[in-house]
Amino acid sequence: MGPVTIFDSTLRDGAQGAGVTFSLEDKLQAVRLLDQVGVQYVEAGNPGSNPKDAEFFQRAAGLSLKNARLVSFGSTRRKNTAPEEDQSLAAVLAAQTPVCCVFGKCWKFHVDRVLETSYEENFRMIEESCRFLKAHGREVIFDAEHFFDGWKDDPDFAWEALRAAVRGGADIVCLCDTNGGVFPQEAGRIVREVVSRLSVPVAVHFHEDCGMATANSIVSVQAGASQVQGTLLGFGERCGNANLSSIIPDLQLKLGIPCIPQEELLHLTHRVRELAAIANVDVPVWMPYVGENAFAHKAGMHAAGVLKSPRSFEHVDPYLVGNARRFPASEISGRAVVLEKVKRIFPHVGVDSQEARTLLHELKTLESQGYQFEGADASFELLVRKRLRPFPPFFELLYYHIYTDYSEGRDRGASATVKVRVGGEIQLMAAEGNGPVNALDQALRKALEIFYPVLSQVKLTDYKVRVLDSKSATAAGVRVLITSSDGEDAFTTVGVSGDVVAASWKALEDSMEYLLLKAARKNGEEDAASLP
């Protein structure tokens, strides 16, 4: 079985996902990143649909790409219109991309109800559009829209649509499951028959409406498809597109079918997270291969097994996709999990040592009180360091006061006063915020930045509050998780209290202390603090 090419539609079909938007600069940045991933085709938009896409193609013409070819997207000509007079085709050509992708109808239902034209005219629209683009020197991909539904309804009609594209000179024919309702056994059977009868390469394009897009893509390749379309993070119209970050390693690592350069596969996780940042979305933690939890082992027995032999609970080495093994510390963790996390900080700690037993006991005690360390590695590391090799505190809170001013219809926010001791000096600072926690955060930062300018780099990026016992109503305890970033790394800290402000303070205190500890170690300041 030969190589499979990858066609990424993040900037076209992916951009149709609810809540996903790209600025012009975002799109240019995303193209460069997808080129680094090693995909062969980047479908960058529909130049005939909006001015932003048209401007993008003008700017993109100057990009220097080493792996990918840019693709402009559009529809076949309108009914009863010559290709030379069709605005959509003119826009596709004006984009000046080496590859053009046009879609046409392959389902009688759509020709009858949407196009409202004859079947013969539909086939002419497909053939003449492909021929027109091919005559202008473009590589042409025909997207056979609703192909699988059309085939199940009338295979002869769907087949004739493909033949029209081939007669027009299409280089690749892509079978699209536009409604996302096909199951793998159907996909494999239909693709195998089309491949056996068609003279040009076959691609596939699946949607996730039944949760089958990845499986459909894999069985289609096994049935002879030589190109897979999708989006790197799987987002797109409705439930999303086939997830290329799962499909690529499935093909390359599991089936030995090359898709992208092997050296780029090692950076897949990092690239996916970069693209997520551009799109301003989160990578789902459960996402195969590249998610934060893809190689996370929480159960004590699982973790112990992986430490003895990774194959016991891992289907591939996380290194192969640029991810890392994680052992979330939790109340169900065994001693091996805690030890593995501790040994990354203090390699000398033994599995049967008193330190390991004491830490495990304290961890379970804290989690019984509502703490959760599996999502707060920074707080876990601070706990370990303070228990095994205590260091002088960077600062000490003397007190804080919170003031709020609210009257009906007039929310004036909050202000906070913080008094801290750093060494022999005391600093009092006040600040305003749009709520008590924000005000406290601002006051603490201002007070500490006088002594530690590095804290100006820290930004709070996420704040979550969880009620621990809803039956206690307003008297319930809360858990606060705060995620911060220093521009290089993101880290999460946790605080628990019956008071949401006190819980927030504990998480804020940990976040500041963790960054200061990191900065001290980075600068080699390991004297008085005895930092490892």
Strand, coil or helix: what is 202? strand
Quick one: pLDDT at residue 525? 56
Give, as one character, the DSSP assignment of residue 42. E
Tell which residue, 162, 234, 231, has the closest CA to residue 198.
162
- Stretch (H or E) spanning 119: helix 119-135
Beta strands in 282-409 (DSSP E): 396-407
| Residue 334 clears pLDDT 60, i.e. is over it | no
Whether the CB-CB separation of 242 and 219 falls below 8 Å is answered with no
Separation CA 7–CA 55 (nearest Å): 22
Quick one: pLDDT at residue 434? 83
Neighbours of 304 (CB within 10 A): 19
Separation CA 505–CA 397 (nearest Å): 10
| Residue 455 clears pLDDT 70, i.e. is over it | yes
Separation CA 516–CA 423 (nearest Å): 14
Give, as one character, the DSSP assignment of residue 338. H
Q: How many CA atoms lie within 13 A of 119 on its CB side?
A: 12
pLDDT band at 55 (very low <50, low <70, confident <90, very high): confident
Kind of pairing between the strands at 396-407 and 410-422: antiparallel
pLDDT digits (tens, 9 = 90+) for 261-275: 999 999 999 899 889
CA distances from 242 to 36, 180, 232, 258, 429 (A): 20, 10, 8, 18, 52
Separation CA 471–CA 464 (nearest Å): 20
Q: Distance between alpha carbon 303 and the CA centroid of its chain, in Å?
A: 25
Quick one: pLDDT at residue 356? 74
More confident residue, 180 or 333: 180
377: left (phi over 0), alpha (psi -120 to 50) or beta: alpha
CA atoms 223, 228, 232, 236: torsion sign: negative
- What are the tokens at 446? 């201002």
Separation CA 378–CA 363 (nearest Å): 14
pLDDT band at 15 (very low <50, low <70, confident <90, very high): very high
Quick one: pLDDT at residue 88? 92
Identify the structural domains of the chain with CATH numbers, from first to last. Answer: 5-279 (3.20.20.70), 300-387 (no CATH), 395-451 (3.30.160)
Highest mean pLDDT: which of 40-54, 63-77, 375-389?
Answer: 63-77
More confident residue, 57 or 354: 57
> Whats the size of the chain, residue-wise?
532
pLDDT digits (tens, 9 = 90+) for 357-391: 787 788 778 877 888 776 688 888 898 888 888 88
- What are the tokens at 36? 């680094």
Highest mean pLDDT: which of 217-226, 309-318, 466-475, 477-486?
Answer: 217-226
Whether the CB-CB separation of 134 and 92 falls below 8 Å is answered with no
CA distances from 506 to 363, 434, 449, 479, 529 (A): 16, 19, 18, 10, 21
Give, as one character, the DSSP assignment of residue 283. P
| Residue 280 clears pLDDT 50, i.e. is over it | yes
Neighbours of 235 (CB within 10 A): 24
Separation CA 288–CA 244 (nearest Å): 11
From the CA atom positions of the chain, what is the Rg in Å? 29
| Residue 48 clears pLDDT 90, i.e. is over it | no
pLDDT band at 530 (very low <50, low <70, confident <90, very high): very low
Say if pTM beats, i.e. exceeds, 0.95: no
Quick one: pLDDT at residue 14? 93
| Residue 157 clears pLDDT 90, i.e. is over it | yes
Which residues are paired to 485 by β-bridges? 459, 490
Average pLDDT for residues 395-424, to the nearest whole number? 82
CA distances from 53 to 34, 61, 95 (A): 17, 12, 9
Kind of pairing between the strands at 478-485 and 490-497: antiparallel
Q: How many CA atoms lie within 13 A of 342 on its CB side?
A: 28
Longest dimension (CA), the chain: 88
Average pLDDT for residues 173-179, to the nearest whole number? 97
Neighbours of 40 (CB within 10 A): 19
Phi, psi (deg, nearest 5) at residue 241: -105, 170
Tell which residue, 271, 235, 282, has the closest CA to residue 29.
271
Strand, coil or helix: what is 475? helix
Quick one: pLDDT at residue 144? 98
Q: What is the overall mean pLDDT for the chain?
A: 88
Quick one: pLDDT at residue 281? 85
pLDDT band at 476 (very low <50, low <70, confident <90, very high): low
pLDDT band at 528 (very low <50, low <70, confident <90, very high): very low
- Which has the minimum average pLDDT: 142-151, 357-366, 439-448? 357-366
Quick one: pLDDT at residue 261? 95
Neighbours of 409 (CB within 10 A): 5
Which residues lie closer than 8 Å to 140 by C-beta, 6 or more apart? 99, 100, 101, 102, 130, 133, 134, 168, 169, 170, 171, 172
Q: Environment class of residue 67 by beta-carbon count within 10 Å: exposed (0-12), middle (13-18) or buried (19+)?
A: middle
Which residues lie closer than 8 Å to 444 by C-beta, 6 or more apart? 400, 418, 420, 429, 508, 509, 512
- Stretch (H or E) spanning 93: helix 87-94
Q: At what angle do helices 155-167 and 119-135 cross, to 10 degrees?
A: 30
| Residue 475 clears pLDDT 90, i.e. is over it | no
Strand, coil or helix: what is 267? coil
pLDDT digits (tens, 9 = 90+) for 204-263: 999 999 999 999 999 999 999 999 999 999 999 999 999 999 999 999 999 999 999 999
Angle at 418 between CA 416 and CA 424, to 5 degrees: 170
Give, as one character, the DSSP assignment of residue 314. -
